[in-house]
Structure 1
């Protein structure tokens, strides 16, 4: 009897031991899942499959190498068709059905149509363009917030769309985010791409550029692009490497994504006034290099609309007169750009300026400058081609003079419209200076000013 009981107990112990080993195995198997069971990708693209929960070796296979290959879970689309990707792990096979489609690239709308369709734009200022060699930390977020602005999400762009904004300019400074060979930090590119996706998802045009890589020399900032023949000779290759990566990253983004070669490029003396012919020639050469580089990048870049800026983004005589639109492989896909902060003592003088009223004389000055730029861009002679243009930045600082600010904004927009130009409000995120929209909260700030701009931009042109 005792032997029989012992035998039963021994059998039970063995059974529990077997169950004890089977249970964890079943639990592990249940937790292992392929991140996708079905995916559609385009020829030339890749997609990363992941076997979540797997803790050992995985064997990846494809049913049709001609359609899609796989290595370590990375699926590469080869030609249109269907294939099944399998991942074998711990005796079990997990499958994902892959459909590969041929991408259809259509020609982008003309530059004239793009500018007209933008209507009114807004700048995400002091965000991706924020920089400084004093910044503590090296993450994208460290730089995005280093000038005091919060991290934004898609709700901001939903708000902009609801307010009637037609385009968002996203200034980007790259200098702190590429290595000595010019290779861009993937984390930085991913953050830029995230915002581009949000803008486009809300059916607005998006402009990205090379921003404070240019500008006045400052000890606290790492400028490297200047309007001089020597600087062009030194940095033209690095400039091309940078733009080649940006263009490749976004090559399958459609016509509503527009590239801008550079922001306010100055000579090596940081001169904001009338420029020399040499400085203007360097501007023209950098613009040409930008266009040539993007056009070679494939996809929609073959006809993407490209913005080419004057010296210092200036609207003064030498900057506009010496400006020459680059030659291009396609017709009508170049856009000119100036910025507008005149009269300076009213709009942004920070050296104790107190002027608040927008006078008759101010209006006449605005008229004269914009008419000069408009005539230069759109009725060009001497063999130079007429091109559409934008005022990529315009704004007026807050001196508790809302009525004057609205009057100034309306005058600039109305004048620009007569020449077919679209204007972009510069918003630095600070309501006490040039901040108009609360980017993450629910406060109204100066949305009434933005709405006034939207209204006049959408009025019929006489």
Structure 2
């Protein structure tokens, strides 16, 4: 549902004007003109929270915006985005693929018309819009070290055309110079210098075009949109030199890399992953927000989502997003969720993972309690007490529920500080001697925020069978028996690591291996065998979420592969 024009940033303008009026001197009596103050860059950016990305659409490399599998953006889509609680949308656009040759570098008028149409559709839904030049960063701008003058000329020409097209748009449109800037063949220190030049060109061109661009909020990225201190300091130097009150900084955050893609045993949002996140927001706040420069987290998510959201275990991903929302709020950073089509259905307007979106949206306004795990594995007929550690995040434990009714403290469970013990009698009652798999869902309720869901799963030891295949098509026949695969190790007979990422025995989920519970197999990808020594035997250790491990031997001989338990 559309908000009225008196809401969103328009309401901010009104509120600011009223505040100025209230503060006017008494001599400014009835009928006198009163000043109306334009919202500051910090107010504009704050009014964008929370934001959403129209990913893999106008930024898609190919014939048109549908080239990467998403449909054309519609008014109905932006209506759904606004209904979901978002107040802004980032519109990434790749211009270079439809830009003519030097010296004019003319952008295809049809593309520019479509970009304006999409921007206007979002603005009409009272969404603040951030427009950026996107995959141009790695398509041609990265050649700046060896084609300096040509790249600068194309960058300047591109922004001259964008600035001219949008000079009269309202101030609820922001412009971002370049997505994830990168430069080939130079170190980051040299890259900082090149980016400083491009950011200055962007600023000069847009400000010089006049109209609404004279005080439009311009968003400048760090190199790689990285939040390392050296990258932040380099951008801070650029912003200080430009001496423009209508500037904002932007970085991206996709988490601690081993956790973000599930490699090197990074299956959990643990203390290391938490420290990585905390450090990022602390640096951004201290370098920019505390100095009066607003920050847009232009993209955030988990890198494993580029394949599918199941790369990271559900409870661990929920903890990540709950914490990210909290830290962003504490740091005063506006967040824009990266969505390449895997989250909000572009035509169904339904969320593919409602629990994930519920956690994300809840984090915009407050904290939710979580726990050390969201799954408890029970062997039928052999249930024992199981303890999970609560992480209340400032909330108070209220009760434990099953099917909407309270379970009885003392009989069904015990609570001792943050230790929640599920009694064997409860687990045995829930699991019994029935089939393996999820048997019940318990909900830990706190005094506010979302409840924490805990699956009770009946599971026995997984069983693997012998198999033959090829490096292009090999899978381990697996009876999962209710258990779930967390990660896989690979080592040669001498104990050294096998397969890609040779610095760790733990391989990357989905890139090198993937469970297929429905088909009863664990697939070993061609990417795994591509870096396995021909003729060598490899011991695989499969780690399951129950804590069980199962070993398996594979041998590659040319393109042939054999496997035995």
Quickly name the TM-score band, shorter chain normalised.
0.5 to 0.7
Deviation at 1:230, TM superposition (A): 4.8
Matched residue, 2:161 = 245
CA positional deviation for 1:143? 2.3
Deviation at 1:237, TM superposition (A): 2.2
CA RMSD of aligned residues (A): 2.4
Distance 1:458 1:254, change over 3 A: farther
Give the structure with higher Rg (CA): 1
2:279 aligned counterpart, secondary structure = helix
Distance 1:186 1:287, change over 3 A: same
Task: Give the secondary-structure state (helix, strand or coil) at the position aligned to 1:437.
Answer: coil
- Is structure 2 residue 256 aligned with structure 1 residue 388? no
Q: 1:317 aligns with which of 222, 225, 229?
A: 229
Q: 1:214: how far off? A: 0.5
SS in 1 for 2:97: helix
Question: How does the TM-score come out when normalised to structure 2?
Answer: 0.54
Partner of 1:332: 245
CA–CA separation in structure 2 for the residues paired with 1:439 and 1:411 = 27
Residues 87-139 of structure 1, C-alpha deviations (whole Å, 9 max, x = no match): xxxxxxxxxxxxxxxxxxx98522111111111111111111111xxx4xxxx
Question: Is 1:346 equivalent to 2:239 in the alignment?
Answer: no
CA contact (8 A) 2:129 2:173 kept: yes
Aligned counterpart for 1:371 among listed residues 270, 282, 292? 282
Q: Structure 1 pair 143/353, CA: closer, same or farther in 2 (3 Å)?
A: farther
Q: 1:295 aligns with which of 201, 204, 207?
A: 207
Number of aligned residue pairs: 324
Aligned residue in 2 for 1:147 = 68
User: What pairs with 1:434-449 in structure 2 (closer than 5 Å)?
Assistant: 435-449=342-356
Structure 1 residue aligned with 2:115, among 184, 192, 199?
192
Matches of 1:153 and 1:228, distance apart in 2 = 36
Q: Which residue of 134, 138, 156 maps to 2:77?
A: 156
TM-score norm. by structure 1 comes to 0.65
1:409 equivalent among 297, 312, 321: 321
Retained in 2: the 8 A contact 1:258–1:306?
Answer: yes
Q: CA deviation at 1:163?
A: 0.8
Q: Which runs of 5+ in 1 are unaligned?
A: 1-105, 136-141, 216-222, 381-385, 430-434
Deviations 1:45-92 (A, max 9, x none): xxxxxxxxxxxxxxxxxxxxxxxxxxxxxxxxxxxxxxxxxxxxxxxx
Preserved CA contact (<8 Å) 2:88 2:129: yes
Aligned to 1:453: 360
Task: State the Cα distance separating 1:233 from its structure 2 match.
Answer: 3.3
Q: Equivalent residues in 2 for 1:48-197 (5 A)? A: 109-131=39-61, 135=62, 142-180=63-101, 181-197=104-120
The runs of 5 or more residues in structure 2 that have no matched partner are 1-35, 368-393, 395-565
Distance in 1 (CA, whole Å) between partners of 2:248 and 2:366 is 23
Flag the structure with higher strand content. 2
**Does the C-alpha gap of structure 1 residues 415 and 436 become closer, same or farther in structure 2, counting only changes over 3 Å?**
same
- Distance, in Å, in 2 between the alignment partners of 1:395 and 1:241 is 32
- Residues 316/328 of structure 1: CA separation in 2 closer, same or farther (3 Å cut): closer
- How far has the Cα of 1:354 moved from its partner? 7.4
Higher helix share: 1
Cα distance between partner residues in 1 of 2:278 and 2:265: 23
Question: What is the DSSP-based 3-state SS (H/G/I as helix, E as strand, rest coil) of the residue aligned with 1:130?
Answer: coil
1-side partners of 2:42 and 2:333: how far apart?
9
Matched, 1:214 2:127: no
- CA shift for structure 1 position 370: 1.6
Closer, same or farther: CA 300–451 of 1 in aligned 2, 3 Å: farther
